[in-house]
Chain A
């Protein structure tokens, strides 16, 4: 599949994560814009469709067709299986790990990946440790890559434990 088409499919998939069903977990106001004018009140368990996220806010659509913004914290998405949450067409890639299905089925409690059992059996892999150095980014390289997005550093104070 041409790469541009694949990227498009994955981007649609990425955007689609937000176009999803959920509900209001605590009564909240429906705003015209993020933190803007209040359009109405939503009670707990109101069903919503989440259209997109804008920082600490979700744009939502109500069953009656109204749209508006609610705080991120007031939204609870519908439950899904682990496989449903995988980005785009990466499910097969995800399951192409070194572990075979047989290995998975032999692990306790259905754990598929890294667990205490494997830790216990682990032999330190110093070769893999050395390999990490070859992938490491220097500060200048990281700054240059950030600037290309373009990201720029800013001052933000640490948060208090409230």
Chain B
């Protein structure tokens, strides 16, 4: 991991800006942007550009994950964290990128959500974990996030932004030409987050759903556990605050379920699998003490 204490403040600020942009896209999406519609922020961003290096997935992922962990701490429960890592790693081993340094973690956050960051980071909130019913459902959720990493959805989105000159030069302009400090960068980031705050492209979410059920099925789990999770989410009042960010950044569960069921029908409905309900229940029972 890079030691930023030895870097000039500009480089740190630029990279932080870049990472925050990455986090914005990781968490809230990567929609195509019409720069002409962004006004002055768009003009600033259009002049901005620090391209992502072709081989820096892990580095970007480290920074992105660190920013995420700064916003939502990890749950201080080593046994549960190790459990989720064992399940997640077994699922990731079924993917096309089994050799990534996979890291899974439960976030101490009551909302219902899960996140992925480039390079092999997968996070699930305890709010979502507490609403699952089995290890197979956990595997399906983690599989969805593993799918995002394997398909490089977030990483490609960032590089797409880089091609449209969205990232670093705004910070350069702010720091060098206008002499402003990180507050101006933060303002740009804030504006960009507002623009980006619509979620990943829907096709990426549907793609991750398809990959998630396949990885879970390959791992020996019941492949219909993820559709069952979507049904769980679909029955919760959509106005619940616990779902606000998830629903803002993902297609509605019913839409995901319809698309996923259509893709699974005739193929994965022929596969049975284990639910692991007892082992999962034992883990959660420990938390209720």
Contact A7 B282 (CB under 8 A): yes
Give 1 or 0 for each of B24-67: 1 = CB within 8 Å of chain A CB. 10011000000000000000000000000000000000110111
> Does A64 lie at the interface of the complex (its beta carbon under 8 Å from any beta carbon of B)?
no
Nearest Cβ in chain A — how far from B102, in angstroms?
A: 7
Contact B217 A11 (CB under 8 A): no
Given A14-B133, A77-B234, A125-B73, A142-B90 contact (CB < 8 Å): yes
List residues of chain B with CB within 8 A of the CB of A87.
130-133, 284
> Does B146 lie at the interface of the complex (its beta carbon under 8 Å from any beta carbon of A)?
no
Give 1 or 0 for each of A41-55: 1 = CB within 8 Å of chain B CB. 000000000000101
Nearest Cβ in chain B — how far from A19, in angstroms?
A: 12
List residues of chain B with CB within 8 A of the CB of A73.
227, 257-258, 261
Q: Is the interface of B mostly helix, strand, loop or mixed?
A: helix
Give 1 or 0 for each of A137-149: 1 = CB within 8 Å of chain B CB. 1110111011001
Contact B74 A115 (CB under 8 A): no
List residues of chain A with CB within 8 A of the CB of B24.
116, 119
A-B contact count (CB 8 A): 288
Nearest Cβ in chain A — how far from B27, in angstroms?
A: 7
> Does A75 lie at the interface of the complex (its beta carbon under 8 Å from any beta carbon of B)?
yes
> Does B268 lie at the interface of the complex (its beta carbon under 8 Å from any beta carbon of A)?
yes
List residues of chain B with CB within 8 A of the CB of A85.
131, 232, 235-236
How far, in whole Å, are A155 and B232 apart by their CA atoms in the complex? 28
On chain A, the number of residues with a Cβ less than 8 Å from chain B's Cβ atoms is 81
Contact B236 A124 (CB under 8 A): no
> Does B18 lie at the interface of the complex (its beta carbon under 8 Å from any beta carbon of A)?
no
Give 1 or 0 for each of A98-140: 1 = CB within 8 Å of chain B CB. 1100000000011111111011111111101101111111110
* Residue of B1, B126, B228, B276 touching A126 (CB-CB under 8 A): B1
> Does B264 lie at the interface of the complex (its beta carbon under 8 Å from any beta carbon of A)?
yes
Given A17-B232, A90-B284, A139-B93, A98-B73 contact (CB < 8 Å): yes
CB pairs A–B below 8 angstroms (23 shown): A17-B232, A56-B265, A72-B228, A72-B231, A79-B236, A79-B237, A80-B237, A81-B236, A88-B288, A97-B109, A111-B111, A116-B245, A122-B71, A125-B66, A129-B69, A135-B78, A139-B93, A139-B98, A142-B87, A151-B220, A152-B220, A156-B217, A159-B210
Known: A93-B130, A132-B103. 20 other contacts (CB 8 A): A55-B224, A73-B227, A82-B236, A88-B285, A90-B130, A93-B126, A94-B126, A112-B111, A116-B193, A118-B71, A119-B68, A122-B68, A129-B69, A132-B105, A137-B85, A142-B85, A145-B87, A149-B135, A151-B90, A160-B263
